[in-house]
Amino acid sequence: MEIFDALSYDDVLLVPGYADFLPSEADISVQLFENVRLNAPVLSAAMDTVTEENMAIALALNGGAGVIHRNLTPEVQAKQIFAVKRFLNWVIDNPITVSDKMTVGDVRRIIQKEGVSGLPVVQDDGTLVGIITHRDIMFCNDNSEKVVDRMTKNVIVEEGDPSPESAVEKFHQYKIEKLPVVDNGRRLTGLITVKDMEKHQSYPNAATDKKGRLIVGAAISPMDWQKRMPLLTEAGVDFVALDAAHGDSRNVIEAVAAIKKRYDIPVIGGNVVTAEGTRRLCEAGADAVKVGVGPGSICTTRIVAGSGMPQFTAVLVCAEEAKKYNVPIIADGGIKFSGDIVKAIGAGASCVMLGNLLAGLKESPGKEVIYEGRMFKQYRGMGSIGAINEGAGDRYQMKEGDQPVPEGIEGNVPYKGELKDFLVQLTTGLKKGMGYCGCRTLDLLKNYRRFVKISGAGLQESHAHDVLITQEAPNYSRR
Ligand code: XMP
């Protein structure tokens, strides 16, 4: 029997090389799937203390994408996907409308229920006849008054296929907040809002789809995809991730193939750590392969089951195989610092999936806790007792009613504030790494292939040493 050596991120360093650009000029965008382009190669982990709608919105606004966990009922998960898709638009496709025969009371109810501030008024055949906003009815005491008597009739519109420039010009010129889009028969086809235009301007790096909506993914399992897929696709999900600890298994491989047969949507298969596992997922039709068995900060799989693979080697081996199928690799787990992102991509990953690094952010769903005067957020493995008790057991091949045998732990991570500022630390660290290696794009970094293996003394030398740290850095701590 031959026993191979395998390495972790801490075992290696990228060898610096000549650069003819500044790190700030590095391009960290990645085309993950045909319709999914990220402006930062970061996905948030499908974990119940990491990714729900707030995290998914914040991450996509800043260039990455969230994968909403599946310890939620299919209905609630789909509702969260819908909330992310609705957060930002270019042209809203099916805007909520009212009929000119309705009353002010009806409009008030709709505005409150749907959380919108203005509604196009249409006739039965969809013809736009006016617009009614919160302001039009603010001082109206009579709920039975007709919409037709309160609405603005001379509506400024866009016709056909508008451009952002022309919409901005109209908002500016007419000082309006909603801009209905109509066809040449004046039937309503969409709505542009000033709020959406402002958000696009505030977040120029947002990861968006063709309609200007935020990119978002959802976790599914081989056991529940039939229930979840119809609701998720209806809600507008951009991709799904088969969320399983052992992706090189019949259930997962068959689920990938079955989903690809029925749905025209990118499917991430995983998790695997070998070339054979990668090959089986690629041949089943996976659009990306997620790599990692046991590297996560809250994982105990390798200890409980004695199985796994140090993550750097796992990414390297899987990426080598996936390249033959032109399938991207997602390096999932074990990323402790921005430098590990550089190493993961250097090993051949197209993007990384982060749990621990994002769990302490304001936008994560984990509970805030104060401990010894400092603020923390709870972070737990999906194979921990707490997560299993709330339904995550099938990720670890457990059935309902089984005695829980955890493969993860529950803990706290320091509170880190808002995602926007923290992500800059990660993406700038990545750009610095690209600068040191002279790789202007992620593709160049993926193909750079110059690593050295370091010793324990090398790792010690890499970290801050022989000094008492008196000021914590936003991107470095010794744990
Ligand atoms: P990090 O290191 O970013 O890792 O915290 C997050 C990834 O860890 C995986 N995960 C688990 N693995 N037991 C495991 O063995 C668990 O309980 C567990 N929960 C999450 C998952 O792939 C995640 O993205």
The secondary structure element, H or E, covering residue 375 is strand 374-380
In this prediction, residue 430 carries a pLDDT of: 98
Per-residue pLDDT, averaged over 203-210, amounts to: 96
Cβ–ligand 1 contact at 297 (below 6 Å): yes
Distance 183 CA to ligand 1 centre (A): 49
Collapsing DSSP to helix, strand or coil, 312 comes out as helix
Distance 290 CA to ligand 1 centre (A): 12
**319 or 166, which is more confident?**
319
Name the amino acid, one letter, at 455. Answer: S
Are 435 and 27 in contact, with CB atoms under 8 Å apart?
no
Cβ–ligand 1 contact at 53 (below 6 Å): no
Residue nearest to atom 24 of ligand 1 (CA): 45
Distance between CA atoms of 185 and 352, rounded to whole angstroms?
48
pLDDT tens, residue by residue, 370-390: 988 999 999 999 999 999 988
In this prediction, residue 390 carries a pLDDT of: 84
**Domain range summary for the chain, segments of one domain joined by +:** 9-88+205-365+419-462, 98-196
Cβ–ligand 1 contact at 51 (below 6 Å): no
Q: How many helices (H) and strands (E) does the chain have?
A: 18, 21
pLDDT tens, residue by residue, 415-448: 999 999 999 999 999 999 999 999 999 999 999 9
In this prediction, residue 140 carries a pLDDT of: 85
In this prediction, residue 372 carries a pLDDT of: 87
In the predicted structure, residue 188 carries a pLDDT above the cut 90: yes
Distance between CA atoms of 395 and 266, rounded to whole angstroms?
20
344: tokens are 């993961």
In this prediction, residue 298 carries a pLDDT of: 96
Fold of 9-88+205-365+419-462: TIM Barrel (3.20.20)
Cβ–ligand 1 contact at 299 (below 6 Å): yes
pLDDT tens, residue by residue, 466-477: 998 888 899 998
Distance between CA atoms of 313 and 290, rounded to whole angstroms?
14
Distance between CA atoms of 456 and 147, rounded to whole angstroms?
74
Please provide the distance, in angstroms rounded to a whole number, between the alpha carbons at the two ends of the chain: 37
pLDDT tens, residue by residue, 348-363: 999 999 999 999 999 9
In the predicted structure, residue 479 carries a pLDDT above the cut 70: no
Q: What is the mean pLDDT of the chain?
A: 94
225: tokens are 């995809």
Residues β-bridged to residue 330: 290, 351
Helix 250-262 with 225-235: angle, nearest 10 deg: 40
Are 133 and 118 in contact, with CB atoms under 8 Å apart?
yes
pTM for the model: 0.93
Residues β-bridged to residue 379: 411
Collapsing DSSP to helix, strand or coil, 32 comes out as strand
Count other Cβ atoms within 10 Å, centred on residue 336.
Answer: 16
The secondary structure element, H or E, covering residue 106 is helix 104-114
Distance between CA atoms of 86 and 99, rounded to whole angstroms?
22
Count other Cβ atoms within 10 Å, centred on residue 211.
Answer: 14
In this prediction, residue 375 carries a pLDDT of: 95
Residue nearest to atom 2 of ligand 1 (CA): 296
In the predicted structure, residue 215 carries a pLDDT above the cut 90: yes
> Of 142, 85, 50, whose CA–CA distance to 355 is shortest?
50
Write the CA distances from 74 to 69, 85, 151, 233, integer angstroms: 10, 16, 39, 12
Per-residue pLDDT, averaged over 212-237, amounts to: 97
Which of 56-60, 149-153, 248-252 is predicted least confidently? 149-153
379: tokens are 């972070």
Distance 298 CA to ligand 1 centre (A): 6
Distance between CA atoms of 382 and 72, rounded to whole angstroms?
12
DSSP 224: T
Cβ–ligand 1 contact at 111 (below 6 Å): no
45: tokens are 């982990």
Name the amino acid, one letter, at 476. Answer: Y
Distance 347 CA to ligand 1 centre (A): 20
Write the CA distances from 205 to 56, 78, 209, 276, 358, integer angstroms: 14, 25, 12, 36, 19
Residues counted in the chain: 479
Fold of 98-196: CBS-domain (3.10.580)
Are 85 and 235 in contact, with CB atoms under 8 Å apart?
yes
Give one DSSP letter per residue of 114-145, joined into a string.
HT-SEEEEE-TT-BEEEEEEHHHHTT---TTS
Per-residue pLDDT, averaged over 52-67, amounts to: 98
Q: Helix, strand, coil: what percent of the chain each, to 5?
A: 35, 20, 40
Helix 311-323 with 338-346: angle, nearest 10 deg: 40
Catalytic residues: 299, 395
Per-residue pLDDT, averaged over 132-151, amounts to: 89
Distance between CA atoms of 383 and 305, rounded to whole angstroms?
13
Are 344 and 434 in contact, with CB atoms under 8 Å apart?
no
Are 194 and 215 in contact, with CB atoms under 8 Å apart?
no
Distance between CA atoms of 287 and 32, rounded to whole angstroms?
9
460: tokens are 């010690």
